[in-house]
Amino acid sequence: MRTPPPRIDPSADLAPESHFLPPLSAELIAVIVAVTGDSPRILTLDRGLTLPSGPLETGHRSLQAGVRSWVERKTHHALGHIEQLYTFADQDRLEDSEPKQVISVSYLGLTLEATASGDPGVGWQGWYRYFPWEDHRLGRPLVLDPILDTLDTWVHRAASVEIRRARMSRVRHTFGAKGEPWNEEWVLQRYELLYEAGLVEESRRRGYRNHPAGRLATGEGMQHDHRRILATGIARLRAKIKYRPVVFELLPESFTYLRLQKAVEALAGRRVHKQNFRRLIAFQNLVEPTGGIENQTGGRPACLYRFRRAVLQERMMVGSKLPLAK
Amino acid sequence: MRTPPPRIDPSADLAPESHFLPPLSAELIAVIVAVTGDSPRILTLDRGLTLPSGPLETGHRSLQAGVRSWVERKTHHALGHIEQLYTFADQDRLEDSEPKQVISVSYLGLTLEATASGDPGVGWQGWYRYFPWEDHRLGRPLVLDPILDTLDTWVHRAASVEIRRARMSRVRHTFGAKGEPWNEEWVLQRYELLYEAGLVEESRRRGYRNHPAGRLATGEGMQHDHRRILATGIARLRAKIKYRPVVFELLPESFTYLRLQKAVEALAGRRVHKQNFRRLIAFQNLVEPTGGIENQTGGRPACLYRFRRAVLQERMMVGSKLPLAK
DNA sequence: CCTATTATGCTCACTCTGAGCATTAAATGC
DNA sequence: GCATTTAATGCTCAGAGTGAGCATAATAGG
C-alpha cells in the first residue's frame, strides 16, 4: 500500500526522563462477582483480606485468558462475562518500597457462586461487608450518619475557605447529603473521599493523619489497594447493568422476574419499582418463558424465564435498560 | 484492626500453566485528540503511520503521569483530560514473534491543537482518514456502499448456515444496514468486523485470506495495532461526550455555541439539531457568557461563552447530556 | 371461605426529546 | 437605503419513555 518511511524512534522523543528500566513484573487481580439470593458476593482469599491475584504467565495467550483460566479452576464454573477494569503502576501503591516495578491489571468477572474450594481462607464474601454505606435497599443506611458527621468535621478542618467549600460540595454530591440525590454508581468516588479524609483503615495505614474521632465503623479493610479495586469493580458493574444484559451471567438457566429483580437490586444497592421493572424487561425481548412455573414463591406462582442468549449474537450491543436511570 | 492470617500464595492456586517469566516490558501508547474547525485530529508519528508511544520509565510516578509528561512536551499544551483506554498483552499482537513479552497500556488524551514540533513525520491527522466510513455529518458516506457489498460476499462465503446468519446480523447491526439505525459509538466493532472479513490492510498483513474483491478503499492503515487502538479511543470519546463535559477540553477559553456544536459533531460524526443543542447546553448550566460577541459568523453575531470549570469541582460527576442519545 | 402474599395487567401524569416554525441581528449586493 | 442572505436565538408541540400507583389473579394457610 505504501513504503514505510524511516521510523523515528519514539522513545527519543517521548521518554526523556530516564532510560533505566527496572525489573518489571505484571500481576493480574480479579474481582469475581456472584449473587446468592439477595447478597452480592466476591471471591476472596485470606479470609476476605485480598482479592485473587497472580502473576502474568507466558502460558496465557492474553491477559483475559489468564484471568479466565484461573477463575474457572477456582470456581468450577465458566466465567460468564469478563472485562478489564484498570491498570495501575503507581509506585506508591507498594507498601514496602521495593526497587521492582509492578504493573497490576485488574479484571471484573461474573459467575455463578460455586462451593468454595477446600482451601482455608478462600471463599465468598458479601461485598457490603466492605462498603456498608452502599446498601440502600432498606432505605438510607444508618452507618451514613456517623460517617457524614465525621466528614463534616473533616470539611471544617480545611486549611482555607476555598478548600472547605470544595470539600463540602464534594461530600454533598458524592454522598447525597443535604437534599442531593444518592447516586449508586459513585462507589469509587465515595471510597476515595473516605480515604482522603482518613476514615478508612487503608488510609490510616498509609500515614494519613488519624482522625480525632478515632475508629469509625467504615467497613472491613483489605490488603494493599484491593478495596479500592473492589470499589472500581462495583462501580463498573452498577453502571453496566443499566445498558448491557450482564445480570443474566449471575443467574441460573431459568429464573423468575423477581429473582432477576433481586439480583439487580443486590448489585445496585437500591430497590426498583416491581411493575415498571417487569415492563422494561418484557418490552426488550431479552427473555423468553421456559413454560415452567415456580410455585415456592409464597403467593401466586411465577412464570420462569430464560435469557435469550441469541440477542448477544444478533446485536453485539444490546441495550438492557433497567429502571435505575435516575 | 485484625491480625492478618497466614497468606496463601495466590500463584500456587491461580497460575498453574507456567512459572517461567519472560523478560517483560511496558509500553505506553497515546491517542491524543484535538479538534480544528470541524476536523477531529490525532497526534501521529511516522507521517501518520503510528501513534506516539514509548516505554514506561521509573521517572514516572504513575502511568498517567508518564503519558502526560510526554504529550505536554510534544504539543506545548496542557493535556486537558486524560484517561486509560485499555491494556493489551496478547502475544499475537507482535508481528515478529520475539521471546520478549510486552504489555501495552493505551491512553486517550484531549488537548488543543498546537503547531506540530519540527520533527519530520510528526503531526496531526484527521481521524476520518483512517475511518472514512465513520463520518456521517453529510449523510451516509458513499464509501459504505462498496464496503457493504464486499461484506455481503463475506457473509455468503460463510461455511455454514449458522455462521452466515450470525455474520449477516452482525453486519446489519454494526453498520446499520437494512433499516437498522447507525450507532456512531460502535467504531471498534465496525473496525473489528472489517478486520475479520479481511477488508483492512492490517488483517491482510496478518495472513487473513485476501478477499477476491481485492483492494478496497477502507481508510489508511497504521502500523501494528495502532488503528485498532485509535478505534477504541474514538469509540470511548464518542460515548463519553454524552455524559461528561469533556468537549470543552478541545475548545479555547471562549467559544460560541456553534463552535461547541461543530466540535461535538466532528467527534460524533453526525449532525445535531441546532436549537435542541442550545437548549440542552443552556439548561445544564455548564457554560456562562463571557459578555463578548463574535461577529465573524457570517450572520447575526453570536454570544461568546466559557466553560464553568467550577462544575468539575462542584459535582465530580456532571452529566453533560448531549442530543446524541438515539 | 377469608386472609396474606406474591404475580401480573393497566392507567395516568410528568419529563425529556426530536422536529420544526418564527423572529432577530448582523453582512452583502444592488 | 433596501432587499437578500446567513446565522443566532426564542418558542411550541407531539410522541416516547418513565415513575408511581391502582386493580386483579392465583396460590397457601388458617
How confident is the model over A184-209, as a mean pLDDT? 85
Q: Which residues of B touch A54 (CB under 8 A)?
A: 10-11, 13-15
Residue B4 lies in a domain: no
User: Do residue A41 and residue A97 come from a single domain?
Assistant: yes
Rounded distance in angstroms from the CA atom of residue B292 to the C1' atom of nucleotide D8 = 14
Q: Which residues of B touch A315 (CB under 8 A)?
A: 169, 173
Q: Alpha-carbon distance A219 to A144, whole Å?
A: 11
Domain boundary among B174, B203, B219: B219
Q: Which residues of B touch A73 (CB under 8 A)?
A: 13-14, 16
B302: Cα within 13 Å, side-chain hemisphere: 15
Rounded distance in angstroms from the CA atom of residue B258 to the C1' atom of nucleotide D5 = 18
Beta strands in A23-138 (DSSP E): 24-36, 39-44, 53-55, 81-88, 101-110, 123-126
User: Do residue A208 and residue A295 come from a single domain?
Assistant: no
Q: What is the SS3 assignment for B233-250?
A: HHHHHHHHCCCCCCHHHH
CA closest to D20 C1', residue: A273
Residue A67 lies in a domain: yes
pLDDT given at position A91 = 58
| Total structural domains within chain B | 3
Higher pLDDT, A23 or B162: B162
Which are the contacts of B78, defined by CB distance < 8 A and separation ≥ 6? B72, B111
Which residues of chain B fall short of a pLDDT of 50?
1-20, 93-94, 212-213, 326
User: Do residue B30 and residue B115 come from a single domain?
Assistant: yes
Report the CATH number at residue A254: 1.10.10.10
Which are the contacts of B189, defined by CB distance < 8 A and separation ≥ 6? A316, A317, B174
- Which residues 178-237 in chain A have a CB closer than 7 A to strand C? none
CA closest to D11 C1', residue: B275
User: Do residue A138 and residue A122 come from a single domain?
Assistant: no
Residue B36 lies in a domain: yes
User: Do residue A162 and residue A110 come from a single domain?
Assistant: no
SS3 at position A151 = helix
| Opening angle at CA B73, ends B72 and B79, nearest 5 | 5
Domain boundary among B127, B157, B186: B127
User: Do residue A44 and residue A124 come from a single domain?
Assistant: yes
pLDDT in tens, A235-272: 999 999 988 889 999 999 999 999 999 999 999 999 99
Residues B319 and B242: beta-carbon distance below 8 Å: no
Q: What is the SS3 assignment for A306-326?
A: EECCHHHHHCCCCCCCCCCCC
What are the helix and strand counts (H, E) for chain B? 10, 9
Residue A149 lies in a domain: yes
User: Do residue A215 and residue A281 come from a single domain?
Assistant: no
Pairing of strands A254-256, A302-307: antiparallel
User: Do residue A252 and residue A189 come from a single domain?
Assistant: no
Which are the contacts of B24, defined by CB distance < 8 A and separation ≥ 6? A24, A25, A26, A56, B100, B101, B102, B103
Contact flag B314-A90 (C-beta cutoff 8 Å): no
Measured from the CB, is B299 under 7 Å from any atom of strand D?
yes
A208 to chain B, minimum CA–CA distance in Å?
16
User: Do residue A215 and residue A282 come from a single domain?
Assistant: no
User: Do residue B103 and residue B148 come from a single domain?
Assistant: no
Residue B230 lies in a domain: no
Higher pLDDT, A262 or A58: A262
Query: In terms of Cα–Cα distance, which of B42, B123, B30, B124 is closest to B83?
Result: B30
User: Do residue B31 and residue B117 come from a single domain?
Assistant: yes
Residue with cell 465458566: A78
Grid cell in block for residue A130: 466492605
Q: Which nucleotide is at minimal CA–C1' distance from A297? A: C6
A313 to chain B, minimum CA–CA distance in Å?
7
Q: Which amino acid belongs to residue A213?
A: A
Residue B162 lies in a domain: yes
Q: Which amino acid belongs to residue B164?
A: R
For chain A, give the number of residues. 326
pLDDT in tens, B200-234: 988 877 665 555 445 677 889 998 899 999 999 99
User: Do residue A122 and residue A29 come from a single domain?
Assistant: yes
pLDDT given at position A179 = 79
pLDDT in tens, A76-134: 667 878 999 999 886 554 455 555 678 899 999 998 876 556 566 678 899 999 999 99
Q: Alpha-carbon distance B259 to B296, whole Å?
A: 12
Report, in angstroms and rounded to the nearest whole number, the Rg of chain A calculated over CA atoms: 23
Range of the domain at A140: 133-219
Pairing of strands A53-55, A39-44: unpaired
Which are the contacts of A159, defined by CB distance < 8 A and separation ≥ 6? none
Residue A52 lies in a domain: yes
How confident is the model over A11-27, as a mean pLDDT? 54
Residue with cell 441546532: B274
| Eight-class DSSP state of A136 | -
Report the CATH number at residue A120: 3.90.79.10
A313 pLDDT exceeds 90? no
Query: In terms of Cα–Cα distance, which of A279, A277, A240, A236 is closest to A260?
Result: A277
pLDDT given at position A105 = 92
pLDDT in tens, A180-190: 889 899 999 99
Contact flag B201-A8 (C-beta cutoff 8 Å): no
Residue A234 lies in a domain: no
Higher pLDDT, B213 or A40: A40
| Opening angle at CA A175, ends A135 and A182, nearest 5 | 65
Domain boundary among A129, A153, A184: A129
pLDDT given at position B9 = 36
